[in-house]
Amino acid sequence: MAEHRVFTLSQVAQHKSQKSCWLVINGRVLDVTKFLEEHPGGEEVLLEVAGKDATKEFQDIGHSKAAQNLLFKYQVGVLQGYTIQETDINDVLFKESKKKEMSAFVIKDDGVSKSAAFLEFFVPLLVACSYFGYRFLSRSGQIA
């Protein structure tokens, strides 16, 4: 694992302009100066949290997995007091979305939808069989 430079929050706070814009997300110190113009959410939001810990703001937006992976690209170090493991970002940031994926899967696979599928298939089949059965029996004269 690569060694990370350690910064204090006051060191990060010195980079809060368009010329040098740093922020902290999940203990990672990010230099987003070159990303300001590219950020799909605009540079203003990044400059608002420049020099600060923007973990909450970043998570509140519900950034995509692609956006979360981009964090690695801009990392220049870690915040003092944090020990970053490379799996941290998956553990912390993706936990919520994984939970959502799982519950969506469970809903899809629960008993209600199975019995609904059963009814959707067998009820029309039963009606069709009864109809043809009736026609067959009435033609062969067994039913008046």
* x/- letters, 28..57, toward ligand HEM (CB under 6 A): --x-x--x---xxx---xx--x----x--x
Could you tell me which of 26, 52, 51, 21 has the C-alpha nearest to residue 38? 21
22 binds ligand HEM (CB under 6 A): no
67 binds ligand HEM (CB under 6 A): yes
- Shortest spacing between CB 60 and ligand HEM, in angstroms: 8
Residue 47 CB neighbours (<10 A): 17
92 binds ligand HEM (CB under 6 A): no
Using CB under 6 A, count the residues that bind ligand HEM: 21
Strands in the chain per DSSP E: 6-7, 22-25, 28-31, 75-79
Q: What one-letter code names the amino acid at 40?
A: P
Q: How far apart are CA 62 and CA 30, in angstroms?
A: 18
- Shortest spacing between CB 35 and ligand HEM, in angstroms: 6
Q: How far, in Å, are 38, 40, 70, 122 from residue 2 at the CA level?
A: 27, 29, 17, 60
Residue placing its CB nearer to ligand HEM in the complex, 31 or 80: 31
Q: Using CB under 6 A as the criterion, which residues of the chain lie in contact with ligand HEM when the complex forms?
A: 25, 30, 32, 35, 39-41, 45-46, 49, 54, 57-58, 61, 63-64, 66-67, 70-71, 74
